[in-house]
Amino acid sequence: MRWQWRVNSRDVRRFDRTFDIDTAGTLEPTELTVKAGDAADGFVYVGTPLRLARWWLTALPQNRCDFTFIDMGSGKGRVLVFAAQAGFARAVGIEFAEELHAIALANAHKARAHGLAIEPVLGDAGTFEFPDEPLIVHFNNPFHERVMRRVIANLTASYQAHPRPIIVIFQQMTDEDPAHRTDNLALLASVPYLTERTLELPSGAIDRRLLAPYTVRIYESVEAFRSVTAALR
């Protein structure tokens, strides 16, 4: 794991240097100020490894400009900058910790100098209203089931009001800290309008070893499946 940590850290340093931003480090919710939501519902801030993001990006539709990317528990905004760079129509993040949100706002300002627009939002993920647009919704195992249930309920209500392509990405450590183990994957698997899609591991041995510590699941609505199929024609 140590060599994997070194490789991931090097990737983050290079990424942050490229855009003059700060997305590195880890922080516990108890170290942060939380007014929108309950700090006890959140887990430690650890940004998504960039190689992991590049992996699941390969499984997403090529017509990214038609999708809004939503990062639930967006922290300092690393995945938002990545999504903006990847060409999504919008990159919106919801974060409940004020200190992380402040850093994300600073990063948004610096990213604009590189032609990248991100939209960090301070608030409770459980009360977030999803926009009526085709969506990619990303989770880096950010919170407990009690929040996930509310998020899924809000997403379901939004989908029922406006059926559309929705793709959900959920990632977590395979050997998750016992304190952070949840039934969030089971909750997603039970959503009737979402179907799991297989994410193939890359062929390279090094990438396979780097990605081995992570579990990633992708779920999509039938409209998203049609969108992906049409884009491949």
The residues spanned by each domain of the chain are 2-232
Angle between helices 98-112 and 78-86 (to 10 degrees): 30
Asked if pLDDT for residue 233 goes beyond 50, the answer is: no
- What average pLDDT does the chain have? 89
Each residue's pLDDT tens digit, 84-125: 999 999 999 999 999 999 999 999 999 999 999 999 999 999
Looking at residue 38, its pLDDT comes to 65
pTM above 0.75, yes or no: yes
pLDDT digits (tens, 9 = 90+) for 23-67: 998 877 778 888 776 656 676 778 999 999 999 999 999 999 999
- Whether domain 2-232 has CATH 3.40.50.150: yes
The yes-or-no verdict on residue 212 having pLDDT over 90 is no
**Tokens, residue 215:** 């579990």
- What's the rounded Cα separation, in Å, for the pair 169 and 181? 17
CA atoms of 230 and 233, how far apart (whole Å) = 5
The DSSP element (H or E) to which 185 belongs, if any, is helix 184-189
The pair of structure tokens assigned to 59 is: 């499984």
pLDDT at 232 over 50: no
The DSSP-derived string for 198-213 is: --PPPS-HHHHHHHTT
CA–CA distances in Å: residue 125 to residues 44, 60, 92, 203:
16, 23, 12, 35
Predicted local distance difference test score (pLDDT) of residue 231: 53
Q: What's the CA gap between 83 and 54, in Å, rounded?
A: 10
pLDDT tens digits, one per residue of 147-202: 999 999 999 999 999 999 999 999 987 766 666 678 999 999 999 999 999 888 77
- Tokens (6 digits) for 137: 């919704």
Taking alpha carbons only, the member of 163, 156, 161, 137 closest to residue 83 is: 137
Mean pLDDT of 136-141: 96
Q: Comparing C-alpha atoms, which of 82, 99, 108 is closest to residue 21?
A: 108
String of b and e for 69-96 (b: at least 16 CB within 10 Å)?
bbbbbbbbbbbbbbbbbbebbbbbbbbb
Rounded Cα gap, residues 96 and 29, in angstroms: 10
Q: Cα separation of 55 and 201, whole Å?
A: 8
- What is the C-alpha separation between 34 and 97, in angstroms, rounded? 5
Q: What is the Cα Rg of the chain in Å?
A: 17
Q: What residues pair up with 93 in beta bridges, in sequence order?
A: 71, 120
Q: What is the pLDDT of residue 60?
A: 94
Structural element, H or E, at residue 102 = helix 98-112
